[in-house]
Chain A
Amino acid sequence: MAEQAHKTGTSSWEPRIVAFLCRWCSYAGADLAGVSRISYPPTTRVILVPCSSRISPYHILKALIEGADGVLVSGCHPGDCHYLTGNLLARRRFILLKRLLAYLGIEEARVKFSWISASEGEEFAQLIREVTEEVRAIGPFHGFLREVPGEETHDG
């Protein structure tokens, strides 16, 4: 896509990643990474949610439209959901969404899902490093259905 051209000359650009974290696991995992003084890139803006199943495609797409370059949704490992089945319901939605977005030509790295428990501080830090690098590789997000960065495609 056009971001290759765009990336050159934006070496100071850092990805902005919105991370929706389940309060019972991934959010605590992020906390653990913090108190354990594990360093990871300061690219994420964390939004605390009660469960990964709270997240609908609305939130994910809206985050991208509002300026995120990538979105991460992280919940409890299957079997560990505080509400027993929330993450299992979310898993079904996420796989469909992920496939549809890929089909519509959205880079796969824009939207990422993961399971991180409260005890996985190092795993959380590693996840953020990976997500950051993947989003950095594809460059800034310029909006949906747009060919050239910043170009208006619709004139009504």
Chain B
Amino acid sequence: MTRTNTSDSLWILPADALPAFLSALAENGELWVPVPVGEGARFLPYREGLPIDLTQTPPAHPAKSILFPHSEVLFTYHRGDDGIPALTVPEFDSRFLVAFGVRSCDLHAINALDAIFLKRSVPDTGYQQRRERLRVIGIACLSPAATCFCDRMGGGPFDTTGMDVQIVPFEESYLFRILTEGGNQLLNPYLDYFQAADEGAIRKIAALEEGTSLQTGQPVDFEDLSQAIKTHNDDPYWEDLANACLGCGICTFVCPVCSCFTLVDEGTPRAGRRVRAWDACMFSTFTKEASGHNPRGAEVARVKQRFFHKFYYCIENEEPPGCVGCGRCVAQCPTSIDIREVIRHYQREGT
């Protein structure tokens, strides 16, 4: 965790200057912001006049969709009159991609997504190009939700991992803390919108940071947890969860780390497209094979898979754990299945 200190480059943006700043920023790149849609915020490309919600902690939908969209056209094809098919791959934007108002949990999750999409044998083209363009203006969480537990998973409300700039809302303005050279380059052209932070503001923000604490428990020992889960394959506890689980896709879709997808082809032999869309291991068809056999045919096998993947396979593969403590699945599960409870259930005493 980076503590506020005077050596950081600190700037203050009055709240009423935010739209003008964002509009200016959006002219030079792709900008994603948390937008209220229904009762929950989701990250959408910025456009003039779009309402922005910087209060929902965390936004109901994760920031993973910026790098890994819910659905994405991989290519389109068209067979000309000569019968020869032509593929068209969507053109990528080469400008920077700014994720604005992202919280620590989602950035820890991007770390986990990097392990999946970049660090395995073949990097994922779409993810990679977006990831390389990514600049993050993150936001500190002044009022974590009752379901937040990032403090146990390596993050924290003021954690700056993955941020180029961190904003701290205070009074009628935002403090922008520039953390990296990338952040410096990003904000430099727009400093006209800002005022330099004075000593008073810095003190107030330091007090805010002191006053915001999330203490939901000891940090999780993932080695320990993974061993405990591994050795409880036949635990009746999984049945208890499976007895309630609906097998819907809420938990995986709102999870900032879940990254399973499916590929579908749409169209006719003449023309069409290949689309990649999120899939969910909780769906009964997820592992269904062409023969009709389903290795995870029972609800309990699917429920178990979710937690085995997050807390055992990830650790076994030396990748970051599959949970960052954002608590979205906890808050959204209709049947109150709670990953915190799973962790508690398998955590040995003293950890």
Contacts and interface: CB of A to CB of B under 8 A. Distances in A.
Interface stretch (B17-25, B64-72, B197-205): B64-72
Contacts, number: 9
Given A155-B65, A155-B69, A156-B65, 6 more contacts: A155-B44, A155-B45, A156-B69, A156-B70, A156-B71, A156-B72
A156 B71 CA distance: 7
Contacts of A155: 44-45, 65, 69
A156 B44 CA distance: 8
Interface string B73-107: 00000000000000000000000000000000000
Contacts of B69: 155-156
Interface string A144-156: 0000000000011
A27 to B, nearest CB: 24
Interface in A75-115: none
Q: Is the interface of A mostly helix, strand, loop or mixed?
A: loop
A109 B70 CA distance: 34
A2 to B, nearest CB: 19
A155 B70 CA distance: 8
9 contacts: A155-B44, A155-B45, A155-B65, A155-B69, A156-B65, A156-B69, A156-B70, A156-B71, A156-B72
Nearest to A156: B70
B97 to A, nearest CB: 14
Contacts of B45: 155
Contacts of B71: 156
A111 B126 CA distance: 40
Contacts of B70: 156
A153 B59 CA distance: 20
Contacts of A156: 65, 69-72
A156 B72 CA distance: 9
Contacts of B65: 155-156
A155 B30 CA distance: 14
B107 to A, nearest CB: 20
Interface string A123-155: 000000000000000000000000000000001
Q: Which 8 A-B pairs have the closest CB atoms?
A: A156-B70, A156-B69, A155-B44, A156-B71, A156-B65, A155-B45, A155-B69, A155-B65
Interface string B26-56: 0000000000000000001100000000000
Interface in A8-58: none
A51 B69 CA distance: 42
A156 B70 CA distance: 5
Nearest to B68: A156
Contacts of B72: 156
A75 to B, nearest CB: 27
A3 to B, nearest CB: 24
B296 to A, nearest CB: 26
Nearest to A155: B44
A106 B293 CA distance: 40
A105 to B, nearest CB: 19
A140 B169 CA distance: 48
A62 to B, nearest CB: 12
B257 to A, nearest CB: 17
